[in-house]
A = this chain, B = another copy of it.
């Protein structure tokens, strides 16, 4: 047994505690698999006094988190502080500049600063790994970077936010509305007290930009991801989708096309025959479509201390084995820079649900707007009045450019017939 891989750990929240517990529990097994032990030697967190349920006295305590980068006994720094900038980014920069390996679960930081950090890692010949940043315990970065590496990827997409999937599948199972289920998810600890990052699709967009970079060999470009969340999905949308043979899931999708690279996070209608339609609860799942391998699916727990710790320690095992290379699957300078594609060029089938007043001519007005914008309607369902007297009209379009749907909705903007905003969702092909 050669000398241990020595870890300095920054951040002792849920995941940090999980990493310590995992290394304690599976220590001998990890040493057999990695070829040498993995040992935590130093730790740092905001509050030294807090009881975290694990014995911390055996580790050196470092008050200044950034100083972990220069802790002489450590080979690798594990960053579990979070936040795209601030102490996490400072620690990443100093660790890599010091030529040490850096492992993180920080999706926001990698989405925003991944390219800079990858360059720094290459310059120093150090490892930069972030499996835990996307889809928790699921080895999907490895799956793309290595498992599917022989393929040109046409699309990578999936359920990247467990909170949203928990809420949507609960709405689906119980026929309840968004706000009610969100409140329950918050009470159960499945959703944050400020749930914006999750439910507005920002968390999923961070993850998507990372997957996209690895799949397509492009520079991570979080700013190019168009994102909307699940706030405006109502129980009736789920019921209409079900009647049409679909389930609603918040999907992140990155897709190569003649128009460029589309990167987007939106609620989608997923055909019940598709495996993602059967992913319920806080589970995550990612699909990659390769030109030789076809459709690959990776599924598992997308969050939680155990799964996230599993991904962090998998990265450490790779480093202990010496099995690591460029973070984004190819050298940073080989990553292409892309102008984002215009969503309007994307061709797809769409679901649009209008909430309208119950009066003569409303349907004609909607149909005319669709016709004038060149949108071809595949099916339309109108249901009797809701408790407040309004009526739902759900439309599924034939495949066409998204620009046309946007134009139709623009024509209808401000119409006295509409109650609130129409809900537009894409249909997964």
Known contacts A147-B314, A313-B150; is A294 also within 8 Å of B299 by CB? Answer: no
Apart from A139-B147, A143-B147, A299-B299: 10 A-B pairs, beta carbons within 8 A: A25-B152, A137-B292, A137-B296, A142-B143, A147-B314, A290-B310, A292-B307, A293-B307, A297-B300, A321-B325
Chain B residues with CB under 8 A of A323: 146, 318, 323-325
* A148 contacts B by Cβ under 8 Å: yes
Chain B residues with CB under 8 A of A326: 35
Q: Which residue of B lies closest to A274 (CB)?
A: B278
Chain B residues with CB under 8 A of A26: 150-152, 291-292
CA distance A101 to B149 in the complex (A): 19
Chain B residues with CB under 8 A of A285: 297
Q: Is the CB of B22 within 8 A of A150?
A: yes
CA distance A195 to B131 in the complex (A): 41
Binds B, one of A158-166, A247-255, A328-336, A415-423: A328-336
* A58 contacts B by Cβ under 8 Å: no
* A156 contacts B by Cβ under 8 Å: no
Q: How far is the CB of A222 from chain B (nearest CB, A)?
A: 22
* Copy count, this protein chain: 2
Q: Is the CB of A299 within 8 A of B318?
A: no
CA distance A326 to B36 in the complex (A): 13
Q: Which residue of B lies closest to A297 (CB)?
A: B299
Chain B residues with CB under 8 A of A299: 275, 296-299
Contact of A317 among B146, B275, B293, B322 (CB under 8 A): B146
Q: Counting chain B CB atoms within 10 Å of each CB, which of A285, A290, A329 scores highest?
A: A290
CA distance A313 to B149 in the complex (A): 8
Q: Which residue of B lies closest to A321 (CB)?
A: B325
Chain B residues with CB under 8 A of A201: none
CA distance A331 to B139 in the complex (A): 23
What are 30 A-B contacts with C-beta separation under 8 Å? A22-B150, A25-B291, A26-B292, A32-B217, A32-B330, A35-B325, A35-B326, A35-B330, A35-B331, A137-B294, A138-B147, A139-B142, A139-B143, A146-B314, A146-B317, A146-B323, A149-B314, A149-B317, A150-B309, A150-B310, A150-B316, A278-B278, A285-B297, A293-B300, A293-B307, A294-B306, A296-B299, A297-B300, A299-B299, A318-B323
